[in-house]
Amino acid sequence: MIRARSLVGLALAAVAFAAPAPLTAATGLGGGPDPRVVPRPPVVDLDKKMSQATSPPAPQAGNPLWGVPLSSLTVTRERPIFSASRRPPAPPVAARPVVQVRAAPPPAPRGPQRPQLSLVGTVAGAEGIAVFIDQSSQSIVRLRTGEGHDGWVLRTVGPREVTLQNDRDTAILALPSLQPK
């Protein structure tokens, strides 16, 4: 209620400054000119050149604030009344360009691998021994049960075959058959 009264008081004061007639005539409280006639502010050109803004314009009849250039009213930009923090809004930030990064395709599921070894001979017994030829270097490799080569570990040795294991992969290598051609 008090706020509404103070706003009405401010409006009456503004009308009093703007109207050259007495307050009673502008508010319609007394006899006089038409109370509906209110002087209008001049058209504000916000795009005036700075040279024109530096020289004070001639005050116009009516509201004395009409003579104040908008360029001199910087406090309203520095401390806006409709902002809760009373700070100007942050300048707009250009959005970062969207960069689509294509991830490398997942590796194809690998099938069971084979050791790069060819079985040449076996010695079966309590401690089995197997003789291989490494196909990549053409060197001879001799392994006992439990020993490994290139990630493959010799698990069992039979009379004509051996079992090698690499993580989850298992390979069985056999001696070539001795059938005549």
At residue 2, the pLDDT reads 56
Residue 84 lies in a domain: no
Residue 122 lies in a domain: yes
Cβ-contact 27, 34 below 8 angstroms: no
Residue 179 lies in a domain: no
> Domain total for the chain?
2
- This prediction has a pTM of 0.39
pLDDT exceeds cutoff 50 at 21: no
Residue 111 lies in a domain: no
Q: Tell me which residue range forms the domain holding 33.
A: 2-39+49-78
Q: Let me know whether 74 and 122 are in one domain.
A: no
Cβ-contact 38, 15 below 8 angstroms: yes
Residue 99 lies in a domain: no
pLDDT exceeds cutoff 50 at 155: yes
Residue 137 lies in a domain: yes
Q: Let me know whether 8 and 74 are in one domain.
A: yes
Q: Let me know whether 127 and 66 are in one domain.
A: no
pLDDT tens digits for range 166-175: 888 889 999 8
> What confidence category does residue 130 fall into, taking pLDDT thresholds of 50, 70 and 90?
very high
When pLDDT is averaged across residues 37-60 and rounded to a whole number, the result is 56
> What confidence category does residue 63 fall into, taking pLDDT thresholds of 50, 70 and 90?
confident
Residues contacting 25, CB < 8 A, separation 6+: 19, 31, 32, 33, 35
